[in-house]
Amino acid sequence: MSTEPQRRMSREDLVDALVAVDVETRIFRTYESGTPTFENPTRWTALVSVARGDEALGQGEGVLAATGFRISTEDGANLLDALDAPDADTAAFVPLVGRDADEWDESLGLEKPWGDLIIVDRVSVETEWQHLGGVGRYLLGLALLEIARSQDVGLIALHAHPYQYAHSGTDEEIRAGKVRLVEVWGDLGFEQFQGSQLMTIDPHRMTLPEGVERLRVRLTQ
């Protein structure tokens, strides 16, 4: 295995690559038939690639992959059960539910009829594209905008926890990681929910598109 340090992408290469970005999103069910159930909610994936040089858009280099859940909030939906039943990943978002199981916490400022909840569960960025000043969050923002345009989405949420330290990190590393992730996702427009590591954004406000555009300008100018 080579021990040579990886060449850092030049500013010119980065700007050129971000000119042509392809976002592919997919909403799918993890069961074979019927309607979504609490134990088997609808999932989503997003793959983002960039075309460098002479590459055609759609045949470029994969940079970001993200997955998550879509939780239905149609009238009468028991939000508490919808979040608690599938697994620990969705149960982490139970605090977003209000005093009544079919209501979101009033501090979120959402009005009925709500759109569905999009949970960002996993995000991975190719090594070459990490630590470049926000490429990952910019590309995720593009993917979330695409999902919000194509689906009835009322709220997007994520859990800003440094999972890389889950089995080996010190308390100080975990604390610092939590602070850093709140800053990272806040850069895209997400807001902390009641001081916790849960972060949310309302796609109907201009916060998300403004955050995406702010990152685009910073990365390409």
Query: What domains sit in the chain, N to C, each tagged with a CATH number?
Result: 11-220 (3.40.630)
Counting residues of the chain whose pLDDT is more than 70, the rounded percentage is: 84
Express each pLDDT in 21-50 by its tens digit.
888 888 765 544 445 555 567 889 999 998
Residue type, 187: D
The region of weakest confidence among 103-107, 154-158, 202-206 is 202-206
Express each pLDDT in 158-199 by its tens digit.
999 887 766 777 888 888 989 999 999 999 999 999 999 999
What's CA 126's distance to the chain center, in Å?
16
